Chain A
Amino acid sequence: MDAGRKIKEEKTIKVKYKNKLWIVILLIILWFLIYLNLERLSAIINDITGLSSIKDGYAGSIEFFIYEVPKVLMLLTLIVFLMGIVRSFFSPEKTRVLLEKKSHFLGNILASVLGIFTPFCSCSAVPLFIGFVEAGIPLGVTLSFLISAPMINEVAVILLFGLFGWKTALIYVTTGLFIAIISGFVIGKLKLEKFVEPWVYEIKSIQNSEEEKITFSDRIDSGYLAVKDIVGKVWIYIVIGVGVGSFAHGYVPEDFMAGLMGKSAWWGVPLSVLIGIPLYSNAAGIIPIVQVLLEKGASLGTALAFMMSVIGLSLPEAIILKKVLKLPMIFIFFGIVGIGIIIVGYIFNLIY
C-alpha cells in the first residue's frame, strides 16, 4: 500500500512538472509576441492618449519612456530567468573543483569566466575566498574570480544592451573579463601570499561534497526565484533611470559633462575611477547615472570606467575583504584593478 502511494505521489509530481513546463513555454512565446510588437504597441498607446499629436519635447520624452521601460524590463526578466536556470548548473563548490590544479594563466581565464555563471553574492566573498584558498587554488586565480563575479553580472549587461546596444554590452563583458584575468594574473605573479591573514591557511573544514539532486523542475523554480529576487529589487531603478535619462534631455545642457568627462580631458578616466571607488551601488542603480553622463557629453570610455569602478571596486567590499587580507594587499588589489579599468577607459576613448 505504501508503495502504491509512492507511485501516486511520483505521478502527481510528474504532472505538476509537465504543467510547469507548459506554462514556461507559453510565457516565453507570449514574451516574444509582445516584445517583437512592442514598438507598435507603444505607438498605439501614444495614439490613444493623444501623445503622438503633441510635438514638443515633453511628449517625445514620454513616448521614449513608454517604449523603453517595458523593453528593458522584459529583456531583464527573460535573461534573469534564463540565467537563473543556467546558474543552477553551477555552484561555488563545483567551481572550486574546476579551478583546482589549474596552471596560472589558464586558471585566471577559467576563474574569470566561471565568475559570470557561478551564483555569487558579495556578502559571501569572504567564505568563498577562504574556501578557494583552502582548496589550494592560487591567490591570483581566486582574485580573478572575485573581480569578475560582481563586475560582469547580467543586470549590468542587459541594461547596457537594452539602452546602448549590443556593441556596448559586448565591450563591457570582454573588457571586464580582460581586467579580471590580467589583474588576477599580475597579483599571482607578485607572490602576495604573505599578505593573507595567516589564520585563513589554518582552517580545517569538513569538505562537503554531497551533491544534492536537482531536477529540471527545480531549475525552473530557481529561474523564477531569480526573477522574483532580482527584477523585484531593480525594477524601480530602471523606471527612475530611464525616466531621468529621458527627461534630463531638456534641462541639463548637452555638453555639461563634456569638460569633466569628455574625450579631451585626459584626467577624466582616472578621476572617474577614483570617484567611483567610495561610491557603492548595484548595477541597476548606476546605469541611470551612466546614461545621464553619456547624454551630457561624457565619452563612452570614461563612463564605462566610472561604472566598472563603482560596481567592481567598493569600500564595503574592501572592509569585508579586510578580514582575510592585510591592508597592503587591499591597496595592491584595488590599485591593480583600478589601473586595469583606467587602461580600458583610455582604449575606449581612443577607439570611439
Chain B
Amino acid sequence: MVEVRVLGTGCARCNELEKMCFNVAAENNIDADIQKITDLKKIMSYGIMQTPGLVINGKVKISGKLPTAITLLHWMQEEK
C-alpha cells in the first residue's frame, strides 16, 4: 500500500492535487491510502515552502506545483 499525503491549507491547487491522486490511484488499481493534511505545523514539518505539497511514503515529491498524471502514476508505482 502506498501512503500518499497531500499537504495544503485549502488552496485551489491543493484540492486539485488531492483529486488527481484519487483518480490516478483508482484508474490504475493502486492500493493507496490518500489523506490530506491541513494542519500547518504538520505541513511545515516536511520542510516545504510552497503548497500544495505531495508526500509519498514519507518522501516529499513535489511542492508548489501540480505534477502531470503520468508523473504521479510513476511515483506511486515506484513507491509501491
A residues touching B (Cβ–Cβ < 8 Å)?
Answer: 91-93, 96, 119, 121, 123-124, 126-128, 130-132, 134, 199, 203-208, 323
Contacts and interface: CB of A to CB of B under 8 A. Distances in A.
A121 B64 contact: yes
Given A92-B50, A131-B44, 6 more contacts: A92-B64, A121-B11, A121-B64, A127-B43, A206-B45, A206-B47
Interface string B1-23: 00000000101010000000000
Contacts of A119: 50, 64
Given A92-B64, A121-B64, A131 B41 contact: no
Nearest to A93: B49
A92 B45 contact: no
B48 interface: yes
Query: Chain B contact residues: over half helix, strand or loop, or mixed?
Result: loop
A127 B60 contact: no
A123 B49 contact: no
A203 B51 contact: no
B46 interface: yes
* Majority DSSP secondary structure for residues of A touching B: helix
A128 B41 contact: no
Interface residues of B, number: 16
Contacts, number: 58
B40 interface: yes
A92 B48 CA distance: 9
A298 B11 CA distance: 36
B49 A92 contact: yes
A131 B44 CA distance: 8
Interface string B31-68: 00000000011011111111100000000100010000
A134 B45 CA distance: 11
Contacts of B41: 199, 203
Interface centre among A124, A126, A132 (most CB of B within 10 A): A124
A323 B48 CA distance: 17
B21 to A, nearest CB: 19
Contacts of B48: 127, 131, 208
B47 A128 contact: no
Contacts of B50: 92, 119, 121, 124, 127-128
